[in-house]
Structure 1
């Protein structure tokens, strides 16, 4: 899929991706086919393949080709089936336009065009569009962290509530905690790669002869935002660890209570079982068997031994 936009007074306006592609200030390629990649390549921009985007070497993720800056980051998004995962997104920045290449769907790429007029850097140039898109991506990571915090608040209320939770509810809570751990891991990777991208971009911008003097200011502000989110992320990770330990502890306590109940029941029946075992032996000479009330005496001994065991457990505080 190919989406193209040009600068307008209201921010960005969608244009015909075929006839007016050379007027685009931002071209967004989503899982491009050969025809779409060739169309953009006709503008002098080489489109990397997914295999090239997935390379982890720094020389492949961040490099310059003349005045063209190629930067790849890892962002959380969804595939066609709605499954969330972290995938590569490549920003190709030239003096004429910004080209983004992706094979999954991070939300900022769907929302930025409609909110570009509110971007701090504006949309007057490809560099400013790039910084506005980065600002949208950073805001999205902040939203994900806030959502994760709300889920952890709910889980904490369930786990640490006054009423004991059922084991099944605790297992569901543990699954939610695990999902938040995976989400924060994806956000951490996104912030790390974006911080590295912006740091490199800042160095490149300082070496440009005709650089926009305010670009460095916007870039440094975004780096500060990333640093603040990383601090928040560390806090959430500590909450994930605490919630995991607490939930596992509650599950263990509940299971231990069940095991304790079974152990007490088994202990209550142990003395009666011993008496029954003794008088169930097939010896030829067992004097008690000749007594007329031996059966009732044995039953009374069984009941008395069970009651005595129960009283002892109660005195020890085990019941």
Structure 2
């Protein structure tokens, strides 16, 4: 899919046909014909999907003539039901055009037209569109991190305050225990939730790293020095936001590790409690089993076999051998 955007009175105007004043060409999972059309309009080479997936920094950030080629990782699907994924997005910047190549549909791209409608003066050139796109991406990362903080706070309250995970203020469906699950089902749900938050946080950290490198490369390689001082200040502000979010992400990673260790510790405690119950039950029933075993032997010289009160005496001895250990354990505080 190919979309063309040209500046208008109300921000960027989308069109399916290229016009003379088009400044942004958005390629979403393009066909070879769409790639060729974008190359003819912008006068640049559109990188392939395999070239976008290169992990070397020199393959992600480079200059070819007057065009800047910049690839960043953007997280998509963070608020959906499916697991979030990291998608490579390439920005090809020239003096007149911005070409974006992507094979996913991140939220910042879907909401960018509305963002430009509110601030039409910041989307008039290719450089300004790139700046606004980066601001939207960083703002989206901040929103996802805030959601992660809320989730971690709920998990912390469930583990350390409410005493029962299922009483936490979370969606019931996410905490419904599986009938076939072994062990404490509520804590297994906590582990899954912590795992999802940790995996998403790792993807966001990777995204922030690539965007930070992109911003630094763009600031040093501004084509034609076309950015005014106020727009250079926006770049500095974006870099400051990225550093702040990176620190926040590191703190969130530490919280995830702490909650993970705490949950595993509580699982161990619950398992120890179960083993404790079986151990105490074995201690309580061992003496009466011994009494029953002794009087179950059929030897000739056993005076209790012919005793009238032998059976009640054996029963009373079994009960006493159970009650005495129970009282002793109770007084020691083991029950």
Query: TM class by shorter-chain length?
Result: over 0.9
Deviations 1:262-306 (Å, cap 9, x if unpaired)?
Answer: 221221111111111222234444333232222221111110000
Name the SS of the counterpart of 2:122 in structure 1.
coil
Distance 1:60 1:258 in 2: 56
Equivalent position of 1:55 in the other structure: 54
Equivalent position of 1:89 in the other structure: 89
Quickly say closer, same or farther: Cα 1:22–1:77, change in 2 above 3 A. farther
Question: Aligned-pair distance for 1:45?
Answer: 2.4
TM-score, with structure 2 as normaliser:
0.88
- Contact 1:121–1:218 (CA<8 Å) still a contact in 2? no
Counterpart selection for 2:29 from 31, 45, 51: 31
Question: Aligned-pair distance for 1:9?
Answer: 2.5
Quickly say closer, same or farther: Cα 1:195–1:315, change in 2 above 3 A. same
Question: Aligned-pair distance for 1:62?
Answer: 0.5
Equivalent position of 1:41 in the other structure: 39
Equivalent position of 1:269 in the other structure: 285
Quickly say closer, same or farther: Cα 1:257–1:121, change in 2 above 3 A. farther
Q: Once structures 1 and 2 are overlaid, which stretch shifts more, 116-125 or 36-45?
A: 116-125
Matched ranges for 1:280-319 at <5 A: 280-319=296-335
Question: Aligned-pair distance for 1:55?
Answer: 0.7
Question: Aligned-pair distance for 1:209?
Answer: 5.2
Q: Once structures 1 and 2 are overlaid, which stretch shifts more, 140-149 or 249-258?
A: 249-258
Equivalent position of 1:101 in the other structure: 101
TM-score, with structure 1 as normaliser:
0.92
Name the SS of the counterpart of 2:163 in structure 1.
coil
Counterpart selection for 1:246 from 226, 239, 262: 262
Distance 1:75 1:251 in 2: 35
Matched ranges for 1:139-154 at <5 A: 139-154=139-154
Question: Aligned-pair distance for 1:254?
Answer: 2.4
Question: Aligned-pair distance for 1:100?
Answer: 0.8
Question: Aligned-pair distance for 1:197?
Answer: 0.9
Distance 2:38 2:83 in 1: 29
Name the SS of the counterpart of 1:42 in structure 2.
helix
Deviations 1:104-145 (Å, cap 9, x if unpaired)?
Answer: 121001001111144598112100110000000000000000
Quickly say closer, same or farther: Cα 1:31–1:82, change in 2 above 3 A. farther
Equivalent position of 1:172 in the other structure: 189
Quickly say closer, same or farther: Cα 1:160–1:280, change in 2 above 3 A. same
Q: Once structures 1 and 2 are overlaid, which stretch shifts more, 150-159 or 283-292?
A: 283-292
Question: Aligned-pair distance for 1:164?
Answer: 3.6
Quickly say closer, same or farther: Cα 1:209–1:194, change in 2 above 3 A. closer
Distance 1:120 1:228 in 2: 28
Name the SS of the counterpart of 1:306 in structure 2.
helix
Quickly say closer, same or farther: Cα 1:4–1:64, change in 2 above 3 A. same
2:169 aligned with 1:187: no
Quickly say closer, same or farther: Cα 1:21–1:292, change in 2 above 3 A. farther
CA RMSD of aligned residues (A): 2.2
Q: Which runs of 4+ in 1 moved over 6 A?
A: none
Distance 2:269 2:324 in 1: 28
Q: Once structures 1 and 2 are overlaid, which stretch shifts more, 300-309 or 2-11?
A: 2-11
Equivalent position of 2:244 in the other structure: 228
- Contact 1:119–1:132 (CA<8 Å) still a contact in 2? no
Distance 1:62 1:316 in 2: 69
Distance 1:281 1:31 in 2: 84
Question: Aligned-pair distance for 1:253?
Answer: 2.1
Equivalent position of 1:237 in the other structure: 253
- Contact 2:10–2:120 (CA<8 Å) still a contact in 1? no
Equivalent position of 2:177 in the other structure: none
Distance 1:21 1:46 in 2: 20
Name the SS of the counterpart of 1:23 in structure 2.
coil
Distance 2:260 2:30 in 1: 41
